[in-house]
Structure 1
Amino acid sequence: MGSFLSLAGAKSTWRECQEVTQNETCKRRRISSSFDEESGRLIPSLPDELSLQIIARLPRIYYSNVRLVSRRWKATIMSAELYNLRKELGTTEEWLYLLTKLEENKLLWHALDPMSRKWHRLPPMPKAIYEEGSTNGSSRLWMRNMVGPGLKIAEVIRGWLGQKDASDEMPFCGCAIGTVDGCLYVLGGFSKSSTMRCVWRFDPIQNTWNEVTSMSTGRAYCKTSILNNKLYVVGGVSQGQAGLIPLQSAEVFDPSMGTWSNIPSMPFSRAQVLPTAFLADMLKPIATGLTSYMGKLCVPQSLYSWPFFVDVGGEIYDPETNSWMEMPNGMGEGWPARQAGTKLSVVVDGELYAFDPSSSLDSGKIKVYDQGEDCWKVVIGKVPIYDYADSESPYLLAGFHGKLHFITKDANHDVAIMRADLRDNFGISPPASSSLLPSSLREFSESLGESDAVVWKVIATRDFGSAELVSCQVLEI
């Protein structure tokens, strides 16, 4: 009996010692972990400089998980030093950022990593609403005359003319999208039937939205582009004493200084030669596109008053002389127009491409601008599209990884990202630093009825339900 009690006592003492030992071990581990996290190295036995080199070579898709290792790792993933090193090493990646709109007038952002083909949803844009005046009946009527039924803004107009103001429900309606210095920008738009000056920036490194310096003028449906690492904004409509008015003004944002500066307004010189004062008063000059090309800003322009639409060429801004000049005739007059006259274009490896919708419901063409001959030439004879006439932007263009990409909805109503590739049976693969088609192949493809030199390959799809395409941008980080 005594032996049994002695044995039981020994076991009890052993359990207590084991619990104390485990508690002490856990405590030491916590202290050690805290010490390593605050003052240790990123990777044990490696200098932090070498660890940073390793992290900079990791695909960006892993960063969301890597940042969970510790506070030091999180700080490293969110540091400017890491992304500067990625630029030096040439390990930056181009991601596609897609803006969609749901039926309940809600804007949502999604990012696609083309390499892993994985989608990520961005944090929602802020719900802040800025009122900068109120519109009256005359401005609503002018807006109806200006944009016509071709744009989705017709829904907003119908709301204005009825009992319900549609723009009250949808801040940033008619906003412009741009990118500069590795960040995404959302500029202006409507809020409570008023045009906004506010500008919001999404930092993909911090994964947050922040408000930056506002534009000097409230704008909606303006055009944006990047040149010399500065963000340019031209045209659009704004709030005036008599209501909404078209804008000829332009301004530029310097991300390094965080400031806006005005540049000379667009002259719209061809709009000044209308034959009668009546037409000059009725037809309003608008910028229908903006593209950075050959170190300058190219702005195709139109005169518009529903249901009348007249192309008037365009103008080019030269930042070196800080002045505007008329666009070459062939460039301006041949620039393909989308619904309501908007020009859908993109520059890929120095070549200017534009989408030309076909009269057919299931196809379109891609044209390239030939600067030497001052004309647009068909480079891709058929682009597979589906008829979404009621959509605000039924198709979009983007350029990344040195190739042209077309974004639309497929037969299943899924958003599809399609890449233009040369057909394998030609025995030619496009070099990394060339345009979509070399000059010789471009001439050959023009001789074909449907441009058999190019095949469209779907690189990613996503079911966004009833969401509509609005805009897209490419960020390299």
Structure 2
Amino acid sequence: MPSLPGGASAGAPPAAAGHCPRARPDFGRGISPSSPASEDKEDLMGSVVSSAKINARSMDRHEKSGFGSNKRVKISTYECDSFQRIIPTLPDELSFQILARLPRLYYLKLKLVSQAWKAAITSSELSQLRRELGLTEEWLYVLTKLEPNKLDCYALDPLFRKWQRLPPMPSFVSEEESTGRTQSSWFQMWNVVGSSIRIADFIKGWFRRRYGLDQMPFCGCSVGVADGCLYVFGGFSRAVALNCVFRYNPCLNVWQEVSPMISGRAFSKAALLQSKLYVVGGVSRGRNGLLPLRSGEVFDPKTGIWSELPEMPFMKAQVLPTAFLADVLKPIATGMASYKGKLYVPQSLYSWPFFFDIGGEIYDPELNSWETMADGLGDGWPARQAGTKLGIVVNEELYTLEPSSSLDSGQIKRYDSEQDTWKTIVPQVPVHDFTDAEAPFLLAGLHGKVHVITKEANNNLQVMQAVLQNNIENSPSEENIIWNILASKNFGSAELVSCQVLDV
């Protein structure tokens, strides 16, 4: 059985013209915290973004670069004063080859060297060259919430174990300040994603009417990744379910507004499948409160166009009497994973304070239709909190984390499609008891391994990796598993919201 969470390269940075080595660190036994120096030298990613404009032009070159398979006939040069080269004594082709081999960690400061360097580092050509050379790096992006209306985004470079802070998301325009505007322009941007309000609180409001929706802070947006960018979808603010979509581009280090969704939705589920982003389910504002959505839509990042999906049929819910289903139980999608070329969506019926698993459904993009999920997969998919279900796919295997009843430990499980069962492969995961948090723990796939993100009682956020010592797949035990800490950082009382991995 392969070990779960894997290591990441650490060590001294390579020479400028050399190839960046990708050796994994030599972890010791037990828990090895990250270097304190990586926390003390945190860079603000947003602090180095200049507003200066740079003009670029393309010109044909007839000489060859001398890099074998990386020969380029056309290269972008950057117009800065008298057609300044990136490195004055070198052709731009060679300069790009050098910059592509530098770790991403250095790009923030290298952009300050000159306008030509900034233009080169933020160019799409450099990103493309890094992909061609196989030099892209996986970074972990963690979203946290400290204040009711503020989201902080941090990026972790696992090679150097260093955290960097993303630029702040601009404030959204309130409803009172934008009378007469369309819904997508009402909220041109917001500075929060998620809040301490959990979906369970919304479910309670459906039935007990204890909350005034007009007074609720922003919460419930979903997050996904595509084409090397981070996307934030919708959310709920006051009496409006938002349809706005915003994208973070790590090369430019900026947030940008993109095409809005067809429908406003909050607490939806997002996943990437075949280079397209799918957003499914969630809730919207209904006549008598919050309305669960059966609909879904798909976004093509290349065209910026949204298309509607057929509604989820919730076939297993149809066995209940229609009146009972409509008045008491509310069907909702509680998770989503892109697995084996399809979207796997576990589902539940809510009747506060209880939720009932009803398996799930699978969307086939080739047939553009839904089918019922296998019983063992859907009914056995563990819930994290308030019915929400985590699922990540690493090396074409589907994983989840099942918490204990007290949320002070858990088990990592892997789905066996042949036997239609969830099998425990890590019996003891040291997650901690944060029952008031919207996301007491998160899962991420870094470097082909499963990682667990959680917080300790002292507010240290930890990115943990489990290593099986004896590689005994059929009989994993707590004794033959060692937990290593890939990175650690104190975020104060900030809550975990979501995490994604970008390969840039």
Superposition TM-score, scaled by structure 1 size: 0.80
Cα pair distance change 1:196/1:149, threshold 3 Å? closer
Q: Is 1:352 the counterpart of 2:382 in the alignment? A: no
Cα pair distance change 1:70/1:241, threshold 3 Å? same
Q: Following superposition of structure 1 onto structure 2, how do residues 297-308 of structure 1 map, counting pairs within 5 Å?
A: 297-308=343-354
Cα pair distance change 1:373/1:219, threshold 3 Å? same
Q: Which structure 2 segments of 5+ residues have no match? A: 1-77, 176-181, 184-195
Deviation, 1:322, is 0.8
State how far apart, in whole Å, the 2-side matches of 1:379 and 1:253 are: 35
Q: 225, 228, 238: which is aligned to 2:284? A: 238
Deviation, 1:412, is 1.9
Cα pair distance change 1:77/1:240, threshold 3 Å? same
What is the match of residue 312 of structure 1? 358
Q: 100, 105, 120: which is aligned to 1:56? A: 100
* Per-residue CA distance 1:209-229 (angstroms, 9 max, x = gap): 111111111100000000011
**DSSP-derived class of the 2:418 partner:** coil
Q: Following superposition of structure 1 onto structure 2, how do residues 184-195 of structure 1 map, counting pairs within 5 Å?
A: 184-195=230-241
Deviation, 1:276, is 6.5
State how far apart, in whole Å, the 2-side matches of 1:469 and 1:130 are: 25
Deviation, 1:194, is 1.6
**DSSP-derived class of the 1:43 partner:** coil
Cα pair distance change 1:461/1:38, threshold 3 Å? farther
What is the match of residue 114 of structure 1? 158
Q: Is the 8 A contact 1:148 1:306 kept in 2?
A: no
The letter for the 2-side match of 1:463 is N
Q: Is the 8 A contact 1:112 1:118 kept in 2?
A: yes
Deviation, 1:455, is 2.0
The letter for the 2-side match of 1:175 is C
State how far apart, in whole Å, the 2-side matches of 1:129 and 1:36 are: 37
**DSSP-derived class of the 1:382 partner:** strand
What is the match of residue 475 of structure 2? 444
**DSSP-derived class of the 1:220 partner:** coil
* Per-residue CA distance 1:312-332 (angstroms, 9 max, x = gap): 000001111111100011100
What is the match of residue 268 of structure 2? 222
State how far apart, in whole Å, the 1-side matches of 2:213 and 2:338 are: 39
Q: Is the 8 A contact 1:291 1:346 kept in 2?
A: yes
* Per-residue CA distance 1:130-184 (angstroms, 9 max, x = gap): 6578xxxxxxxxxxxxx99774668999xx95789553xx44x111111111111
Q: 124, 148, 168: which is aligned to 1:80? A: 124
Cα pair distance change 1:226/1:162, threshold 3 Å? closer
Q: Is 1:401 the counterpart of 2:428 in the alignment? A: no
What is the match of residue 138 of structure 2? 94
Q: Which structure 1 segments of 5+ residues have no match? A: 1-33, 134-146, 429-440
State how far apart, in whole Å, the 2-side matches of 1:225 and 1:304 are: 23
Q: Is the 8 A contact 1:98 1:471 kept in 2?
A: yes
Q: Is the 8 A contact 2:202 2:290 kept in 1?
A: no
Q: Following superposition of structure 1 onto structure 2, how do residues 458-469 of structure 1 map, counting pairs within 5 Å?
A: 458-469=485-496
**DSSP-derived class of the 2:143 partner:** strand
* More divergent stretch after superposition (173-182 vs 453-462): 453-462
The letter for the 2-side match of 1:98 is V
Q: Following superposition of structure 1 onto structure 2, how do residues 54-453 of structure 1 map, counting pairs within 5 Å?
A: 54-129=98-173, 131=175, 151=200, 161=210, 166-167=215-216, 170-171=217-218, 173-275=219-321, 277-423=323-469, 426=470, 441-445=472-476, 448=477, 450=478, 452-453=479-480
Cα pair distance change 1:152/1:393, threshold 3 Å? farther
Cα pair distance change 1:271/1:419, threshold 3 Å? same
State how far apart, in whole Å, the 2-side matches of 1:471 and 1:307 are: 24
State how far apart, in whole Å, the 2-side matches of 1:207 and 1:128 are: 19
Between Structure 1 and Structure 2, the one with more helix by share is: 1
Q: Is 1:475 the counterpart of 2:502 in the alignment? A: yes
User: What CA RMSD, in Å, does the superposition of the two structures yield over aligned residues?
Assistant: 2.5
Q: Is the 8 A contact 1:38 1:72 kept in 2?
A: no
Count of aligned positions = 407
Deviation, 1:102, is 1.1
The letter for the 1-side match of 2:420 is D
**DSSP-derived class of the 1:339 partner:** coil
State how far apart, in whole Å, the 1-side matches of 2:213 and 2:265 are: 22
Q: Is the 8 A contact 1:358 1:364 kept in 2?
A: yes
**DSSP-derived class of the 1:95 partner:** strand
Cα pair distance change 1:345/1:264, threshold 3 Å? same
State how far apart, in whole Å, the 2-side matches of 1:407 and 1:392 are: 14
* Per-residue CA distance 1:220-248 (angstroms, 9 max, x = gap): 00000000110000000012344321100
State how far apart, in whole Å, the 2-side matches of 1:153 and 1:38 are: 60
Higher relative contact order, structure no. (Cα contacts within 8 Å, ≥ 6 residues apart): 2
The letter for the 1-side match of 2:270 is T
State how far apart, in whole Å, the 1-side matches of 2:174 and 2:305 are: 20
Q: Is the 8 A contact 2:204 2:352 kept in 1?
A: no
State how far apart, in whole Å, the 1-side matches of 2:384 and 2:80 are: 58
**DSSP-derived class of the 1:196 partner:** strand
Cα pair distance change 1:58/1:166, threshold 3 Å? farther
* More divergent stretch after superposition (225-234 vs 412-421): 412-421
State how far apart, in whole Å, the 1-side matches of 2:197 and 2:79 are: 65
State how far apart, in whole Å, the 2-side matches of 1:38 and 1:268 are: 64
**DSSP-derived class of the 1:189 partner:** strand
Q: 90, 104, 108: which is aligned to 1:46? A: 90
The letter for the 1-side match of 2:163 is W
The letter for the 1-side match of 2:412 is I
State how far apart, in whole Å, the 2-side matches of 1:392 and 1:347 are: 22
State how far apart, in whole Å, the 2-side matches of 1:270 and 1:35 are: 62
Cα pair distance change 1:150/1:64, threshold 3 Å? closer
Q: Is the 8 A contact 1:148 1:154 kept in 2?
A: no
